[in-house]
Chains A and B, each alone.
Chain A
Amino acid sequence: NAGVTQTPKFRVLKTGQSMTLLCAQDMNHEYMYWYRQDPGMGLRLIHYSVGEGTTAKGEVPDGYNVSRLKKQNFLLGLESAAPSQTSVYFCASRGGQTSNQPQHFGDGTRLSIL
């Protein structure tokens, strides 16, 4: 029962470097979301996808790009990392068309930008 798997779990980058965070779900869910969690700020939505091949901006999209080429994967990219992007990143997925379906979360990627 893998659910939502995030890779890597930890990463340290230098300012200006690029990287891609991978989210994979095995529940055949249509909807996928990327959040960041910072102290005192709760979870804030970066980008989301309502199906394979679709992406849309969330609350804090600047400095990030996403792709959903396969239904089970949702990639979050940082083209030029900045210290302000130091955070814990969570991916979530959701199935169904009814309102009472929960979002299922991975265990996060802890990213530090020096």
Chain B
Amino acid sequence: QKEVEQDPGPLSVPEGAIVSLNCTYSNSAFQYFMWYRQYSRKGPELLMYTYSSGNKEDGRFTAQVDKSSKYISLFIRDSQPSDSATYLCAMSAMDSSYKLIFGSGTRLLVRP
């Protein structure tokens, strides 16, 4: 079993829809949770960062962490065609090397 599980999609939605992306994990030592966005033939770029449980909002993006359920989510409101990309969840424990464990990524397509 992988430490981090993520539905690969693809997920296809119409422009303006609310998108929900999710990851589950098995390692209770994970404390830091991130979402990266990766466009085709590009490297991942950090979208959201959350420490421990709770919600964090940044513009159209909201990240949620539920440590009791070992479940994290990313919501995208008013989705745009430019949001079409692969979204990777990543997490790390209290580790001085700051190593990240990534999910396999969910491919999102927002149709105009």
Give residues in A with beta carbon < 8 Å to B: 4, 31, 33, 35, 40-45, 48, 50, 56, 58, 90, 92, 94, 99-103, 105-108
Contact = CB atoms under 8 A, between A and B. Distances in A.
B51 A56 contact: no
Interface of B: 4, 6, 8, 31-32, 34, 41-46, 49, 51, 88, 90, 92, 94, 96-100, 102-105
A102 B88 contact: no
Contacts of A102: 34, 46, 49
B97 A31 contact: yes
Contacts of B44: 43, 90, 105
B43 A50 contact: no
A106 B51 contact: no
The 10 A-B pairs at the shortest CB distance, nearest first, are namely A105-B43, A102-B46, A42-B104, A43-B102, A42-B102, A107-B43, A105-B44, A106-B43, A107-B42, A42-B103
B88 A43 contact: yes
Nearest to B47: A102
Contact of B104 (A40, A50, A58): A40
B100 A103 contact: yes
A24 to B, nearest CB: 14
B42 A42 contact: no
A99 B98 contact: yes
A64 B58 CA distance: 39
17 contacts: A33-B99, A42-B103, A42-B104, A43-B102, A44-B102, A45-B99, A48-B97, A48-B99, A90-B44, A94-B98, A99-B32, A99-B51, A100-B32, A100-B51, A103-B46, A105-B45, A108-B41
Contacts of A99: 31-32, 51, 92, 94, 98
Contacts of B51: 99-100
Contacts of A56: 97
A53 to B, nearest CB: 15
A35 B44 CA distance: 11
Contacts of B34: 102
Nearest to B3: A59
Nearest to B4: A42
